[in-house]
Structure 1
Amino acid sequence: MIRLHRPLLLALTTALIAATAVLAVAQPSTAGPPPAPAAFKHPGVLVDKAQLDFARQQVLAGAQPQKAAYDAMKASSYADLAYTPKPRAIVECGSNSNPNYGCSDERNDALAAYTHALLWYITRDDRYAKKSIEIMDAWSAVLRDHTNSNAPLQTGWSGASFSRAGELIKHTYGGPWTQRVRFETMLRTIYLPEVRNGAGCKNGNWELIMTDAAIGIAVFLDDHAAFNKAISIWRGRLPGYIYETSDGADPKAPTTCPMDTRDEIVDYWQGQSTFTNGLAQETCRDFGHTGWGLTAATHVAETAWHQGVNLYGEAGKRLTDGYYFHTRLENGAAVPPDLCGGTVKLGLGAVTEIVYNHYHNRLGQQMPTTLAYTEAKRPAGANYFFAWETLTHANNPR
């Protein structure tokens, strides 16, 4: 038997403990959400200060593609200093926003609040910050509920943009915002309860959009429990939205929508019965809704990244394969005969700036197909719950 002197034994034990700790950090567990950071980084909902400063520098220098993106934003109706919000106490949204009682108004006002917050940061013109605050205050003064069948999705669309606007104003504007607490209370009591627990067996874009709003609201409110809950929902949904062959013969069921049979899975995946890397649950529905799901999933990962949680790494190839699968077809590749009966409905949208920025500009991964699609869609505009991402994320690995 080999006997070790006590000092040597202690040294070896200490080294083993240290090595185990390093390994635990390098290989995060997927068994449950990591703890939220002890202190949230602000601003840190979708964009952080370094990214904002880079975008501002590019615009002031007239550098592309940010200058063209800024000009498009400035020319939009969302940027009008005469913009008038249209709040209401009850926003009622049925399927396909029918009925539409305040649905479009709320989405547009939330996008306008975020647009003016970005304009404030780029220009340092107080009028834009004050307009953003005016819009947020108008809604926090009257909104009481979202109703009808599309209420969760509507809350996700609007909550995502409102949380980004509030985050920028709260943490970059030094002027008064006397009703900030009222706005925070609105997000905490009206928006967050509607989106924080996922969407069950609705199409996956619902849950991902709702989680996009939930994680943004969580950071804005410094709500650690809500942040961890959003990560848990995302982890349970992403494998149920984008297929990888490593999942097995069939896609996994989302954790919020248990399914027991292959027939249930095929039906949920719009009747598609053959699966390949990057196929999405809504591919055979249409690429528009699929684009919403993909970009919402990316938004969650981007916000988590700013808070020190690497969901991008956990996603592995899943996100990049999802974008490659769909941008390849958008770029003109032939539709395989076993995909959606040989016919797909294109229209992915300008949803690729952030994912390309992370995997290519931060990590150096080559994504030529996604790049070609991204460049063809520049400058990305504003729609439903995403806005001006060429301005904020193009070639911006900060």
Structure 2
Amino acid sequence: MKRNLDLTSRRGFLKTAGALTAAGATGALGLASIPGRANAAPATFSHPGGLHNAGDINRAKVKVAAGEDPWRSGWNRLIANSHSQPSWTPRPQATVYRGGSDPQNYGILYNDIAAAYQNALRWHIQGVAAHGDCARDILNAWSSTLTSIKGNADRFLAVGIYGWQFANVGELMRGYPGFDLGRFQNMMRTVFYPMNDDFLYGGDDGVSHNGACITNYWANWDLCNMASVMAIGILCDDGPMFDRAVNYFRNGAGNGSIRNAVPFVYDSQGLAQWQESGRDQGHTMMGMGQMGAICEMAWNQGVDLYGADSNRFMKAAQYVAKYNLGEDVPFTKYTWGSGTNCAYNEQTTISSSSRGQLRPVWAMLDSHYRRRRNLSVPYIQRMAQAVHPEGGGGDYGSTSGGFDQLGFGTLMYSK
């Protein structure tokens, strides 16, 4: 079914045709034109304009210097993390493996990304060159070494999650002395982006989602790859690439597009069911972070995905927060096809597995819906308070789930 395109801007008015980028049919990577695509990329990208804009950074800098809470609490959480120390030494790999029989070294990558991000934040907020140098050196080391990401299907999780995170650190370090932005952009374009696009759209052969049934992969698989495409588009000032991510969010066939990630809406309760709610709550929480990252990056480039389909994501976040706060929520039977033959599956109840798990994904959502938009989101607000002050990679365990989000939302998003 063809879906209407929501071109509502972040300022609450409709983007006119003249305000939209007239993106060509192909970009630097030969991006094919997509029928019905919404060209939403700005004529000129804002920098920094990934997860954090100049206002976010300046506010954190001023508030931390003044010793004001909650920024001070968020700052203290940051500087206590071992990844934020300027003595961190990168361990770049030529090939990163996630899944499969090869030695699993992807943990090296996500730890180095967390260290680069945290040192980048410390440099921006406090201005100590040692932190900026550390972040720069991590980025330069990887861009001079990494050539491929391999493994079983999990390789698509690696290029998605670590792609959007890495690109955001590069965005923060843009213009830093000695940072080889061009080489870093090339790594993102040639190592991460082709696999992101292959998973979502099928690349050259048109066979997407690793050859599986379109509903086989959970929402997070699409979301992390969409986030990577968007982040790389911003990093590389690539309008068609940015549009490709926006279009998939609005109209994609897989489970990460907005109506598939949030399949059932309970408008009378202000809630909406998340696609992975019948699976477990850890991955559901992850989804809040992945979709939140997409919406925040788009917002910083003038595109409102937070409000798509009458705040559909907000209703889903309220639903997830309410259930994980120990309260009841409605659940509609969810069915899908799996494997290559779309074998029938169903879930008839919400999963209590990992219920109440805390992840640093809520400050961003609370900041947007309650502070920017002045909307009532009591469950999101309570979850943000439960995680306060948010930490980041290294604060939520040593396994990959603890590094699925960059974190530190209390520091960077409090208003």
Give the TM-score category using the shorter length.
0.7 to 0.9
Q: Does 1:146 align with 2:156?
A: no
Q: Tell which deviates more after alignment, 329-338 or 125-134.
A: 329-338
Structure 1 residue 193: deviation in Å?
A: 1.0
Structure 1 residue 326: deviation in Å?
A: 1.2
The one-letter code sitting in structure 2 at the alignment partner of 1:176 is: G
The aligned counterpart of 2:77 is: 72
The aligned counterpart of 1:213 is: 228
| Structure 2 segments unaligned to the other structure (5+ residues) | 1-12, 21-34, 201-208, 334-347, 393-402
**Distance (whole Å) between structure 2 residues aligned to residue 358 and residue 223 of structure 1:** 26
**Secondary structure of 1:281 counterpart:** coil
The one-letter code sitting in structure 2 at the alignment partner of 1:94 is: G
The aligned counterpart of 2:245 is: 230
Deviation by residue 1:112-139 (Cα, 9 ceiling, x = unmatched): 1111111110011111111001111111
Structure 1 residue 317: deviation in Å?
A: 2.7
Cα distance change on mapping 1:104 and 1:24 into 2, 3 Å: closer
Residues 107 and 385 of structure 1 are in contact (CA less than 8 Å); yes or no, is this contact kept in structure 2? no
Residues 112 and 132 of structure 1 are in contact (CA less than 8 Å); yes or no, is this contact kept in structure 2? yes
**Distance (whole Å) between structure 2 residues aligned to residue 221 and residue 23 of structure 1:** 26
The one-letter code sitting in structure 1 at the alignment partner of 2:406 is: F
The aligned counterpart of 1:4 is: none
Q: Does 1:324 align with 2:324?
A: no
Cα distance change on mapping 1:289 and 1:100 into 2, 3 Å: farther
**Distance (whole Å) between structure 2 residues aligned to residue 299 and residue 48 of structure 1:** 13
Residues 330 and 348 of structure 1 are in contact (CA less than 8 Å); yes or no, is this contact kept in structure 2? no
The aligned counterpart of 2:377 is: 367
**Distance (whole Å) between structure 1 residues aligned to residue 350 and residue 296 of structure 2:** 34
The one-letter code sitting in structure 2 at the alignment partner of 1:187 is: M
**Distance (whole Å) between structure 2 residues aligned to residue 161 and residue 309 of structure 1:** 20
The one-letter code sitting in structure 2 at the alignment partner of 1:217 is: I
The one-letter code sitting in structure 2 at the alignment partner of 1:212 is: A
Residues 56 and 121 of structure 1 are in contact (CA less than 8 Å); yes or no, is this contact kept in structure 2? yes
Cα distance change on mapping 1:23 and 1:131 into 2, 3 Å: closer
Residue in structure 2 matching 1:82, options 83, 87, 94: 87
Q: Does 1:381 align with 2:387?
A: no
Residues 358 and 387 of structure 2 are in contact (CA less than 8 Å); yes or no, is this contact kept in structure 1? no
Cα distance change on mapping 1:100 and 1:209 into 2, 3 Å: farther
Structure 1 residue 104: deviation in Å?
A: 0.8
Structure 1 residue 57: deviation in Å?
A: 1.0
**Distance (whole Å) between structure 2 residues aligned to residue 284 and residue 246 of structure 1:** 16
Cα distance change on mapping 1:23 and 1:229 into 2, 3 Å: closer
Residues 87 and 143 of structure 1 are in contact (CA less than 8 Å); yes or no, is this contact kept in structure 2? yes
Residue in structure 2 matching 1:38, options 35, 43, 59: 43
Structure 1 residue 99: deviation in Å?
A: 5.5
- Counterparts in 2 of 1:1-398, with a 5 A limit? 25=16, 32-94=37-99, 101-149=104-152, 150-171=154-175, 173=176, 175-177=177-179, 179-197=180-198, 198=200, 199=209, 200=214, 201-235=216-250, 236=252, 237-245=257-265, 277-334=271-328, 340-341=348-349, 343-345=351-353, 346=355, 347=357, 349-382=359-392, 383-395=403-415
Cα distance change on mapping 1:342 and 1:301 into 2, 3 Å: closer
Cα distance change on mapping 1:316 and 1:130 into 2, 3 Å: same
Structure 1 residue 103: deviation in Å?
A: 0.7
Of Structure 1 and Structure 2, the greater helix share is in 1
**Secondary structure of 2:174 counterpart:** helix
Number of aligned residue pairs: 340
Structure 1 residue 314: deviation in Å?
A: 1.9
Deviation by residue 1:197-243 (Cα, 9 ceiling, x = unmatched): 42453111011011112111110111111100011111131110112
Residues 208 and 293 of structure 1 are in contact (CA less than 8 Å); yes or no, is this contact kept in structure 2? yes
Residues 163 and 220 of structure 1 are in contact (CA less than 8 Å); yes or no, is this contact kept in structure 2? yes
Q: Tell which deviates more after alignment, 29-38 or 301-310.
A: 29-38
- RMSD of aligned residue pairs (Cα, Å): 2.5
The one-letter code sitting in structure 1 at the alignment partner of 2:143 is: S
Identity %: 28
Cα distance change on mapping 1:126 and 1:341 into 2, 3 Å: same
